[in-house]
Amino acid sequence: MPVLGLAQGGTAGYPPHFDIGKVIRPNILALQPYRCARDDYQTGVLLDANENALGHSIPSGDDELQILLQENLHRYPDPSHDQVKLRIAQLRGIPGPEYVFLGVGSDEVIDLLMRVCCTPQRDSILTTPPTYGMYAVTAQVNDAQIIKVPLDIQGGKFQPRVDQICEVTQSNSTVKLIFLCSPGNPTGTLIPLSTIIAILEEPSFKGIVVVDEAYIDFSAEGSSAVSLVRKYGNVCVMQTLSKSFALASIRLGVAIAQPPLIRVLSNTKAPYNVSGPTASLALRALSTEGLEGMQNKVKALVSYRTALISAFRDLKPLGVASVIGGNNANFLLLPILSQPESEGGIPDNQRAKTIYHKLAEECGVVVRYRGGELGCTGCLRVTVGTEDENKILLQKLRETLIETLCKP
């Protein structure tokens, strides 16, 4: 069955074992998308959408609101935001806006992918723990089964086990989506493109590989799976403006894939899922000046990350180990030991929890306890902050480590 709204010949042709018509639920393929008032006309005397023609009622005295108040807040936004998509396409080196979908954060993209691909109580997704928790939460909400193939955690590799993933897909045809987080959360580990390609090329897997690249701008250039989108119809790359662009509050997520899948997502989404103010701020961030600012800040954070790794080494006598994972994101995974490693210390969840709570409640420094994740025993996940924030972190962490160090 063809994808509604997609031009003839727009169906992905590679790899040969992939047919998007057999991945998307039949009722979704047959869905007639809701047509909203702005699909046809966006300028003129707009008397078609039952909007309040007199405008918004927000007081105009606050200077910080002036940019947003200049928007036509009383009008429904553009349902497609093609200008935002075009700038993302130009930034990521893909053919055009037809390869880009915009969502309310990456979480909407995750939810939509499951809704269009997974028949409730029948189909499944595959995850590779430790990984982002929303994959499992969203699967449960959509009544999809969850198959877990843990990452190879030996030696802190945190890499997908391709052989085990392929074994699952060879024996289980219900797997519609494989979620790979690269760089990983909470591991910060980048997945080599060769690993992703091996899964895409696996003939037994007829579904879609979803590569979550929320932190990709903190990694080496050329490491993004977006480079695979031109060739592979069975890959979907998720990105976001929350991390490197520092726009977490505007909630803008991105899916990059070939047009058939993008058209299916567009047919299924809510009519005006991305707000006008969000799109306006995104356009500013994606301008030449905005991109330069983002890239400069990313460079600074990467240098701070390097400095933190070095500073954490100085804390080894107080019972911490070297950071683990790939260190390709804007955070670090720091193991807390029961005592110094030289004295036989091992990763200790109880001490890590104690330090986590003391830092937050007594020192005003909030990190994330991740000791319950596979391969992350005793670990705190520490976001790279400003230079001043990092100094405070190191000071308070040192004090708390001394306070909690077990002494004979």
Domain of residue 182, CATH code: 3.40.640.10
Say yes or no: 255 and 180 in one domain.
yes
The answer to whether residues 214 and 315 belong to one domain is: no
In a domain, 163, yes or no: yes
Range of the domain at 269: 20-36+76-286
* CB-based contact 336:368 (threshold 8 Å): no
Write the CATH number for 334: 3.90.1150.10
- Residue 62 is assigned to a structural domain of this protein: no
- Total domains present in the chain: 2
Distance CA 369, CA 347 (A): 13
**1 occurs within a structural domain:** no
The reported pLDDT for the residue numbered 34 is 65
| pLDDT for residue 311 | 97
Residue 328 tokens, joined: 């390709």
Q: Which of 286, 316, 338 is the last residue of a domain?
A: 286
Last residue in a domain, options 286, 314, 333: 286
Q: Give the DSSP H/E element, type plus range, for residue 235.
A: strand 235-240
DSSP state of 73: T
Predicted local distance difference test score (pLDDT) of residue 128: 97
CA distances from 294 to 44, 78, 287, 389 (A): 36, 26, 10, 19
Question: According to the model, what pLDDT value does residue 64 have?
Answer: 57
- Which among 317, 315, 323, 377 is positioned nearest to 342, based on CA atoms? 317
| Percentage above 90 pLDDT, the chain | 75
Looking from the CA of 318 toward its CB, the CA atoms found within 13 Å total 20
For residue 332, what are the β-bridge partners?
Answer: 382
Contact 390, 308 (CB under 8 A): yes
Cα–Cα distance between 395 and 132 in angstroms, integer?
30
**pLDDT attached to residue 75:** 83
Which positions of the chain have pLDDT values less than 50?
408
Of 226, 257, 286, the residue that ends a domain is: 286
Q: Which two tokens stand for residue 313?
A: 């080494």
Judge if 151 and 239 occupy the same domain. yes
Please state, in angstroms and rounded to a whole number, the distance separating the CA atoms of residues 138 and 108: 10
Q: Is residue 192 part of a domain?
A: yes
381/282 same-domain check: no
